[in-house]
Amino acid sequence: MKKLILLSLIVIALTACSMNKGPMATATLGPTASSTARGTVQLHETADGAVEVDVNLAGVPPGVHGFHVHDKGDCGDNGNAAGGHFNPMGTPHAGPGASTHHAGDFGNVTAGANGEVRTRFTTRSITVSEGAASAVGHAVILHANPDDLMTQPTGNAGGRIACGVVTLQAMGAR
C-alpha cells in the first residue's frame, strides 16, 4: 500500500511539473554552406517566467562554440541575414551570467568528440510569451568559435555554422 501511495504521489508531482510549463517554441537549426551542424533547440517558458532551453545538435566541430539568439528571423546568406544579437534593451554584449547583457547572449555550448551538443540551461533574458523579450520569430545561431563574452558587440564568436528560426508550438504539440 505504501508503494502505491508513493507511486501515486510521484505521478501527481510529475503531472504538476509538466502543467507548470507555459508556452513552448522550437528552432530547427540547419547547417550553413560550409558546415554539417544541425539539430533542435526547444524553449519552454515556466510558470515563474524563466525559460528552459534544451539544445540537441549533431555534426558540430568538436570544441566550444558561441550560441546566441539573433535579431532577425532570417537564416539567409549563411545566417548573416539574422543580423546581430537579439538586444531589445540596448545593453552591452556579455556572458549570460553578467548583470546586464544582450537578451540573446546565451554564451557557449560545447560539442564533444562525437560532434554532439546536449545541454540544458535556464534563462530569464528571453521569453516565449509575446512581448519585447520574446525569442519567437528570431534566429538561433551556432557560431564557429567560442564567444569571449567581452568583445563588443559579438563576442568575437566567428562565422555562423548553423541557423534556425524560433517558432511557437501549438499547446497540444508537446
DSSP state string for the chain: -HHHHHHHHHHHHHHHHHHTEEEEEEEEEEE-TT---EEEEEEEEETTS-EEEEEEEESPPSEEEEEEEBSSS--TGGGGGG-SB--TT-PPP--TTSSS--TTEEEEEEE-TTS-EEEEEEESS-BSSSSTTB-TTSEEEEESS---S-STTTTT--SEEEEEE-EEPPGGG-
Does any domain span residue 8?
Answer: no
Does any domain span residue 162?
Answer: yes
Does any domain span residue 2?
Answer: no
The domain of 63 spans 21-173
Does any domain span residue 97?
Answer: yes
Cell numbers that stand for 35 in this block: 558546415
Does any domain span residue 16?
Answer: no
Looking up residue 46, the CATH number of its domain turns out to be 2.60.40.200
Does any domain span residue 87?
Answer: yes
- Indicate the number of domains in the chain: 1
pLDDT tens string, the chain, 174 residues long: the values are 555 444 444 444 444 444 457 999 999 999 999 899 999 999 999 999 999 999 999 999 999 999 999 999 999 999 999 999 999 999 999 999 999 999 999 999 999 999 999 999 999 999 999 999 999 999 999 999 999 999 999 999 999 999 999 999 976 554
Does any domain span residue 67?
Answer: yes
What predicted TM-score, i.e. pTM, was given to this entire model? 0.86
